[in-house]
Chain A
Amino acid sequence: MDILPVLKTGKLIVLYTPHAACEESMSLIAELGLRAPVTILDGGNRYKPYQVAMLIRRKTVEVNTVANRLCSRRAFTCYEMNTLLGTTPSASHPHVILDLLHTFCDDHVPAHEVRRLLDSCLKQIERLQLSAPVVVTLAPPLVPERDFLLELVCQKADEVLVKEEPAPQIIQPALF
């Protein structure tokens, strides 16, 4: 997945893979951090600080300097995700939102409420897009009833990069 070329201010890029682009997003964050500050909003416990640190180390000895440019906050409920986005100031550096929909699959929050919160989140993302590129990673929703959320997010994207789970190999048993 070659993400860097498509990143531009004003654009929303969505990465959709079985594990919310876990590996790819850590590489992306490290790459971006080498050049400029990055804001990370983690909605599904996908942020892997040690892995990012190792990736940075491969490119530079100035690990601390780069690490200090990576600023993150975590959301543990969809309400928190909404508040995080609402309180993230617009800035001219990239924003990476990890596993945006993870907390929206909580079945203790009714569908209409989840819809309302996501609409609010998407409005905030639109605001952030105006001054910097925004990347959102998504994973398949944990419950099929929340599939509609994927659609809502992808509709707003300028580019959706998808990687499907490779189909399980069917091994033919030997005949002899």
Chain B
Amino acid sequence: MGRTVITITQQLTETEGLLSPFRRTLRRSDQYAFDGLFASARRHIAAIGQAESLLPFESALLAMLLEQAKEIAVLRQELEQLRTKSRVERVET
């Protein structure tokens, strides 16, 4: 009602569309990872919207980095757990 500016969701889809020549050239497996980047951005549409930037893609890139940072943190934790477990096993044998 009265809204005329496109939503962040639509803007992100448009940007994705502009990048389709880039995506197309990638290998299929890389395309899946590429889509994953946009999926991570889409987890934070509310935050991108609230940032009220003239160039929302910059905020979307930040969201992608955020998700990667979380992924790294989880991987670190799992790695640490594995290390601890194997240390314990070595001590026990």
**A and B in contact, CB less than 8 Å:** yes
Residues in A neighbouring B54, C-beta threshold 8 A: 49-50, 53, 63-64, 67
Contact B4 A74 (CB under 8 A): yes
A50 to B12, CA, bound (A): 11
Q: Which residues of A contact B55 (CB under 8 A)?
A: 50, 53-54, 57, 63
Q: Is there contact, CB below 8 Å, between A50 and B4?
A: no
The chain A residue sitting closest to B4, CB to CB, is A45
**Restricting to A14-71, which residues have a CB under 8 Å from any CB of B?**
42, 45, 47-50, 53-54, 57, 63-64, 67
Interface size of B as a range: under 10
Q: Identify which of B4, B5, B6 gathers the most chain A CB atoms within 10 Å of its CB.
A: B4
CB distance from A144 to the nearest CB of B (A): 26
State whether the Cβ of A148 lies closer than 8 Å to any Cβ in chain B. Answer: no
Q: Which residues of B contact A64 (CB under 8 A)?
A: 54
Task: Map CB proximity to B onto A119-152 as digits: 1 under 8 Å, 0 otherwise.
Answer: 0000000000000000000000000000000000
Contact between B4 and A47, CB atoms less than 8 A apart: yes
Complex: A67 Cα to B52 Cα, angstroms: 13
| B18 CB to nearest A CB, Å | 9
Say what secondary structure dominates the interface of chain B.
Answer: loop
Q: Which of A47, A48, A64 has the most CB of B within 10 A?
A: A48
Query: Is B84's beta carbon under 8 Å from chain A?
Result: no
Q: Does B11 contact A (CB under 8 A)?
A: yes
Tell me if A42 and B56 are in contact (CB < 8 A).
no
CA distance A120 to B4 in the complex (A): 26
The interface residues of chain A lying within 8 Å CB-to-CB of B21 are: none
Give per-residue flags for B1-13: 1 if the beta carbon is below 8 A from chain A beta carbons, else 0: 0101110000100
Contact B6 A50 (CB under 8 A): yes
B2 touches A50 (CB 8 A): no
B2 touches A48 (CB 8 A): no
How far, in angstroms, from A99 to B6 measured CA to CA in the complex? 17
* B2 partner residues in chain A, CB cutoff 8 A: 76
Which residues of chain B are near A48, meaning CB under 8 Å? 6
7 CB-based A-B contacts, threshold 8 Å: A42-B4, A50-B5, A50-B55, A50-B56, A57-B55, A74-B4, A76-B2
Query: Can you name 10 extra interface pairs (CB under 8 A) apart from A57-B55, A64-B54, A74-B4?
Result: A42-B4, A48-B6, A49-B54, A50-B5, A50-B11, A50-B56, A53-B55, A54-B55, A63-B54, A76-B2
B residues sitting closer than 8 Å to A (CB atoms) are: 2, 4-6, 11, 54-56
8 smallest A-B Cβ distances: which pairs? A53-B54, A45-B4, A50-B11, A63-B54, A49-B5, A67-B54, A53-B55, A74-B4
